[in-house]
Structure 1
Amino acid sequence: MGKPQQYRYYDKMPVGLDVGGMPEDIKNAPDHSIISCSVDATCEQWKQIPQVIKEKVHFSFFDIAYQGFASGNVDQDPFVPRYFISQGLDIVISQLFAKNISLYGERCRYYHERSCTSNNREQLLLSFCR
């Protein structure tokens, strides 16, 4: 496993996603990288990312905390993982439900994996475990 590297995803002006830097740095990252992002990008901005992820065989891991609280729409919040699946990418999702079901002192988390082809499932799980 390689050494963690910085990449551009946050732009101070305007506050939000670094639309130019993020896709470029993802493209230049070593193959099979795991890339995190804590910026709420627009749906249109996210549509720039899957092709680069696919070309570089990066690992797509999404953490969806409090689905429905980001946009106010429980069906709209998981747009990004759904879009990645529609583009033929394998993904893993970690989903936290504690706030949604009023368990404020507890953690109720669920992990989903979606492999677009059955022969990728083992590789997907191996990637998740590293």
Structure 2
Amino acid sequence: MFTVYAWVTGFAAFLFGSAAVVYLIGHEFPKAQADMKRLPRSWVPVLGLMLAAGSLGLLGGFGVPMLGTLAASGLVLYFVGALLAHLRVGSRKLGNWAFFFATAVASLGVNLAYHWV
């Protein structure tokens, strides 16, 4: 079980960490997404910091299990909020969202299964 936990958590940390970098370096994609969802562009770095915190929290969960559980839970909530932002503006382009959400749910699931069941 540890192998599955380590792979899923490592992949999720890499994925969300990479997304955080894209948000924090000022790339145009997150800015365009914020514009499409009618969010202030000033939120883009904050959202990037949230992704970075989630990624680091997942990695920290290897040492402190509760930290990983809280980070994974926070990422699931982050992507629930992203879904609401999409639906609020009538966007039905949810492919990327579904992949990121599924990864967050998987990281939470393996974390709970490995540490708490």
Ranked by relative contact order (alpha carbons within 8 Å, sequence separation 6 or more), the top structure is 2
Q: TM-score, normalised by structure 1?
A: 0.28
Q: Which has the larger Rg? A: 1
Q: TM-score, normalised by structure 2?
A: 0.30
Greater fraction of residues in helix: 2
Greater fraction of residues in strand: 1
